[in-house]
Amino acid sequence: MTSVDDARHQGMRKRLVDALKIKGIRDEEVLAAIGKVPRHVFMESGFLSFAYRDQAFPIGAGQTISQPYTVAFMTELLHVERGCKVLEVGTGSGYQAAVLCEMGARVYTIERQKELYVKARILLPELGYNPAFHYGDGYKGLPTYGPFDRIIVTAGATEVPDDLRRQLVAGGRMVIPVGRDNHQEMVVVIRTGEEEFTTQKHGGFVFVPLLRGVVS
């Protein structure tokens, strides 16, 4: 394994979970998953003291591992159930995908930067998490593998991509930050019928942008 997970890490994780509860995260399944996934393993060694702070952190290739509160908040909004088929757009470090796997979801994750895709595809199975990894442009989703019960987009989009909307099952939910210029609104899209969608807004966040195309 890349890095050990000992009592010290577990203690730091427990304090992070307590901090998330104070900030308003209530879903016990989400809190339990964050209490189990070793976040420090997703960051370069030497940054242990940062791993369990409630902060975003650089993971290379100009990208960041999302702040734990943001991961918890989005996962709570996603209403994940065991066996749910979930598409994640923006694998990044793989941390969010690991949290979803820990909750018993069947996870498909897509990343446009090859370097990050390759890293996550090696790391997650070492931790016992086995989502389906895809390298490509998540704007288009994964049409041949859909439809999905849930879709989570972990980069900021300027609008809800139509291709993603259409890959939700009826009754399915998508959580996606939407906006521009370093400010996004957390949006939940629910497919209520073949051509019907409702949207809810859940406050402001800051994400790296959802970009088109791939980086090799």
Give the catalytic positions in this structure: 66
Over the range 171-210, which residues count as b (16 or more CB within 10 Å of their CB) and which as e? Answer: ebbbbbbbbeeeebebbbbbbeeeeeeeeeeeeebebbeb
For the chain, give percent helix, strand, coil, nearest 5. 35, 30, 35
Binding piece for ligand SAH, criterion CB under 6 A, among 4-12, 92-100, 171-179, 194-202: 92-100
The SS3 of residue 143 is coil
Interaction between residue 73 and ligand SAH (CB under 6 A): no
C-beta of 84 vs 110, nearer to ligand SAH: 110
| Options 51, 105, 123, 210; binder of ligand SAH; rule CB under 6 A | 210
Interaction between residue 131 and ligand SAH (CB under 6 A): no
Interaction between residue 65 and ligand SAH (CB under 6 A): yes
Q: Residue 190's closest CA among 27, 70, 79?
A: 79
Q: Residue 146's closest CA among 91, 104, 86?
A: 86
Amino acid at 98: A
Fill in the per-residue mask, 136 to 155: x = in contact with ligand SAH (CB under 6 A), - = not in contact: -xxx--------------xx
Fill in the per-residue mask, 155 to 184: x = in contact with ligand SAH (CB under 6 A), - = not in contact: x-----------------------------
CB count in 10 Å sphere of residue 155:
21
Amino acid at 83: G
- d(C-alpha 158, C-alpha 181), whole Å: 9
Interaction between residue 113 and ligand SAH (CB under 6 A): yes
Binding piece for ligand SAH, criterion CB under 6 A, among 16-24, 59-67, 142-150, 173-181: 59-67
CB of 193 to ligand SAH, least distance (A): 27
Binding piece for ligand SAH, criterion CB under 6 A, among 125-133, 173-181, 182-190, 207-215: 207-215
CB of 79 to ligand SAH, least distance (A): 18
CB count in 10 Å sphere of residue 147:
17
- Which residue ranges make up the site for ligand SAH (CB under 6 A)? 63-66, 89-90, 92-93, 95-96, 110-113, 116, 137-139, 154-155, 208, 210-211
